Amino acid sequence: MTLNVAHGRGDGFHQLLQHSETTLANLDAIASLLKEKGADVVALQEADAPSFWSGGFNHVDYLARKADFSHAVHGRHADGLGLSYGTALISRLELRDPKAITFDPRLSPVPKGFLVSAVSWPGNPGIDVDVVSLHLDFTGRSTRKKQAMQLIETLRGRNRPVIIMGDFNTDWKKDSTVRYISQALGLSPYNPKEQGLETFPKFGKRLDWILVSPGISFHTYRVVPSELSDHYGVIAELALDGDERNYKRTVLNKGR
């Protein structure tokens, strides 16, 4: 599952303009949603460590504890002047070999980045997959493409099948960054042109995506409407294609 948690502000205008009690109530509602959906791994964006504008406590640790996730890692792409936030992964599976990358700050004044960690596929401990929580820039396609190049280089170096989840800040239009990443890494989205999968209701755009490597397929895929953020969540059930031996032959040894 992936969800931009909007610094815990819910559908409010800005987290700085609300009381800490409201932030806690919003995070409690998000935790209830995550617990209800029962995902193995959740990618979070705009997830705060202690920050003056959102209550001064760690939202990632709070959500992991309240929603009964046993593992959490946090990439703090903004960290200074009383603010600390970024992308995160919370998981019922062990998260191994985590790496957080903050995109080149010269590309955008608003810090963005991604967090990647390896998990073992449930029931198949010999199969390791990288899971990614990604947040790309909202200001322009050229900036997003440069950020995507950093993402692609990092994932190629890790040389694992991958599941990328997050807020791409772009839909499936021509020359979009989500297409660029998919083509560069040989990944597949779920029905990219299908209507009714919009995740940013304000503009009716599909900005939040899940992309998967060959050998992994979508069994189910749903948008999760709520007023817990300005973004809707996305949840997918994923399956391996064929048995473990076939998967290792066609994916793990194929390379990119």
- Bridge partners (DSSP) of residue 2 are 43, 234
Q: How many helices (H) and strands (E) does the chain have?
A: 5, 11
For 18-79, give the DSSP string.
S-HHHHHHHHHHHHHHHHHHT-SEEEEEEEESS-GGGTSS-HHHHHHHHTT-SEEEEEEEEE
- At 196 the three-state DSSP class reads coil
Q: What is the pLDDT at residue 236? A: 98
Phi and psi dihedrals of 33, rounded to 5?
-65, -45
Model confidence pTM above 0.95: no
Residue 169 backbone zone (phi > 0: left; psi -120 to 50: alpha; other: beta): left
Half-sphere exposure of 201 (CA within 13 A, CB side): 12
Residue 247 pLDDT more than 60? no
Residue 20 pLDDT more than 50? yes
Q: What is the pLDDT at residue 250? A: 41
Q: Can you tell me the mean pLDDT for 136-162?
A: 96
Residue recorded with tokens 């070999």:
97
Q: What is the pLDDT at residue 11? A: 80
Domains observed in the chain:
2-252 (3.60.10.10)
Q: How far apart are CA 236 and CA 210, in angstroms?
A: 8
Q: What is the pLDDT at residue 74? A: 98
Q: What is the pLDDT at residue 109? A: 85
Q: What is the pLDDT at residue 248? A: 46
Residue 97 pLDDT more than 80? yes
DSSP H helices, the chain, are 20-37, 59-66, 141-158, 177-185, 244-247
